[in-house]
């Protein structure tokens, strides 16, 4: 059963299975294990980034297609949900319609870019995606009437997903293990559940005959064509599928934040984060997205605080405390990432599972 859900692509390493199980349990029970606004927020972001990075892995790790437009598709989904919610009024129908429009729009955009540029050399496709993504980011910040410009848009979720909505008053007295049963909790489980389903869909896609063809294209495009696969069609299909999944992740992100803005969904920094997460986790494994995203977001959110605690603990040693000052957390994050790429050139997942 579990085999089937995981598309027969199990972690194939005890250490890796344990690690993935811990992450799964941690995310599934996050509101109960780590109650708190910040912790649950981090958990939700981890869920969404797992999907976003996994969909990018489908493209880069399996298909060997380098694209810099992944945040664009993420942003399309996020903005669609925000705009439908704003214009149709708060409601689940607006959310679902927004997510659907976003996915369709992202697919069309991906198909258009793919048709124009996937026939030619890989570097050209990468440049085109970069150009289109930058152009769209500029458009979004310029069309402030529609998109709210640099400020972005805040919108309202259905009442059931707001903190004011309470449930289970009679049955559980409104709390379970001291956690308030409110709309925010429901939103978390909406994000978690949808992310889980999207992740499993991605896992299935790469283990389907289609995914195997993508691997073949990554390995040897010329030969893939010669054994009868029309490479350009597969590449376009991969781009579209990955765009649609990224767009769904974007919709979830907008729902979670109740806000969209260029810096949270469209920025090039976000694109670099995605690449970094994938490289650290391990390309072409899908599970790499889980490990990478968890590690990355935990570091990003908690390294500074951890360093603060460390420096106050060791007191005032001249050079050391200056180096370990919480203000230097970005330096240490950079060093951590360089070390991890150096020690695990195939990513963490690639390191644990050696067999092909």
Partner 1 sequence: MSIPLLSTTDLTVRFGGHIAVDNVTTQFHPGELTAIVGPNGAGKTTFFNLISGQIRASSGQVVLNGQDISRLPVSARTKAGLGRAFQLTNLFPDLTVLENIRLVVQAKANKGFNLWSTAVALTDITAKAQTILAQVRLEHVAKQPVSELPHGDQRKLEVAILIALEPKVFMFDEPTAGMSLDEADTILDLIADLKARTECTVLLVEHKMDVIRTLADRIVVLHNGQLVADGPPAEVMASAIVQEAYLGLSPEDQMHG
Q: Which of 230, 268, 339, 341 binds partner 1 (CB under 8 A)?
A: 230
In order, the DSSP letters of 238-285 are HHHHHHHHHHHHHHHHHHHHTEE-HHHHT-HHHHHHHHHHHHHH-TTS
Q: Which of 205, 251, 252, 295 binds partner 1 (CB under 8 A)?
A: 205
The nearer residue to partner 1, 178 or 356, going by C-beta atoms, is 356
Whether 126 contacts 70, CB under 8 Å: no
Q: Which of 208, 317, 322, 331 binds partner 1 (CB under 8 A)?
A: 208
The DSSP H or E segment spanning 21 is helix 14-28
From the list 75-83, 147-155, 219-227, 322-330, the region that binds partner 1 by CB under 8 A is 219-227
Q: Which of 41, 160, 225, 300 binds partner 1 (CB under 8 A)?
A: 225
Q: Does 210 bind partner 1 (CB under 8 A)?
A: yes
The length of the chain is: 356
- Residue 114 CA to its chain's centroid (Å): 22
Alpha carbon distances (Å) from 51 to 118, 199, 218, 222: 24, 6, 21, 30
The nearer residue to partner 1, 140 or 213, going by C-beta atoms, is 213
Give how many residues touch partner 1 by CB under 8 A. Answer: 30
Q: Does 216 bind partner 1 (CB under 8 A)?
A: yes
What is the longest distance spanned by two Cα atoms in the chain? 68
Q: Does 263 bind partner 1 (CB under 8 A)?
A: no
Q: Does 223 bind partner 1 (CB under 8 A)?
A: yes
Q: Does 8 bind partner 1 (CB under 8 A)?
A: yes
Number of Cβ atoms within 10 Å of the Cβ of 8: 10
The nearer residue to partner 1, 87 or 121, going by C-beta atoms, is 121
Helices 268-281 and 37-57: angle between axes, nearest 10 degrees: 80
Q: Does 1 bind partner 1 (CB under 8 A)?
A: no
Q: Does 111 bind partner 1 (CB under 8 A)?
A: no
Dihedrals phi, psi of 164, to nearest 5 degrees: -75, -15
Alpha carbon distances (Å) from 189 to 7, 48, 60, 139, 250: 23, 12, 29, 33, 16
Q: Which of 39, 134, 154, 207 binds partner 1 (CB under 8 A)?
A: 207
Q: 231 to 250, contacts with partner 1 by CB under 8 A?
A: 231, 234, 237, 241
The nearer residue to partner 1, 179 or 196, going by C-beta atoms, is 196
Number of Cβ atoms within 10 Å of the Cβ of 246: 33
Q: Which of 86, 90, 186, 229 binds partner 1 (CB under 8 A)?
A: 229
Which residues bind to partner 1, rule: CB under 8 A?
7-9, 204-205, 207-213, 215-216, 219-220, 222-231, 234, 237, 241, 356
């Amino acid at each position: 059963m579990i085999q089937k859900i995981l598309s027969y692509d199990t972690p194939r390493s005890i250490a890796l299975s344990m690690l993935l199980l811990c992450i799964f349990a941690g995310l599934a029970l996050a509101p109960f294990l780590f109650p708190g606004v910040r912790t649950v927020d981090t958990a939700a972001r981890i869920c969404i980034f797992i999907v976003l990075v996994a969909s990018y892995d489908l493209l880069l790790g399996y298909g060997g297609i380098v694209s810099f437009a992944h945040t664009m598709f993420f942003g399309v989904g996020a903005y669609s949900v925000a705009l439908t919610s704003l214009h149709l009024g708060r409601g689940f129908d607006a959310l679902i319609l927004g997510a659907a429009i976003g996915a369709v729009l992202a697919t069309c955009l991906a198909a258009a870019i793919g048709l124009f540029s996937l026939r030619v050399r890989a570097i050209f496709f990468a440049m085109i995606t970069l150009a289109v993504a930058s152009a769209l980011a500029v458009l979004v910040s310029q069309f402030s009437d529609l998109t709210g410009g640099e400020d972005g848009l805040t919108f309202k979720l259905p009442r059931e997903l707001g903190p004011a909505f309470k449930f289970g008053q009679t049955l559980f007295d409104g709390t379970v293990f001291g956690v308030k049963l409110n709309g925010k909790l429901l939103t978390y489980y909406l994000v978690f559940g949808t992310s889980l389903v999207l992740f499993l869909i991605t896992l299935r896609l790469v283990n389907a005959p289609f995914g195997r063809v993508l691997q073949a294209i990554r390995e040897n495009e010329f030969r893939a064509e010669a054994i009868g696969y029309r490479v350009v069609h597969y590449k376009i299909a991969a781009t579209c599928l990955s765009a649609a999944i990224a767009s769904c992740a974007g919709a979830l992100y907008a729902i979670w934040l109740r806000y969209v803005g260029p810096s949270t969904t469209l920025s090039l920094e976000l694109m670099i984060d995605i690449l970094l997460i994938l490289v650290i986790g391990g390309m072409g494994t899908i599970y790499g997205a889980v490990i990478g995203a968890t590690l990355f977001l935990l570091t990003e959110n908690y390294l500074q605080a951890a360093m603060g605690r460390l420096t106050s603990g060791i007191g005032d040693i001249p050079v050391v405390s200056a180096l370990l000052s919480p203000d230097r957390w970005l330096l240490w994050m950079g060093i951590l990432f360089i070390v991890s790429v150096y020690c695990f050139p195939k990513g963490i997942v690639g390191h644990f599972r050696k067999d092909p």
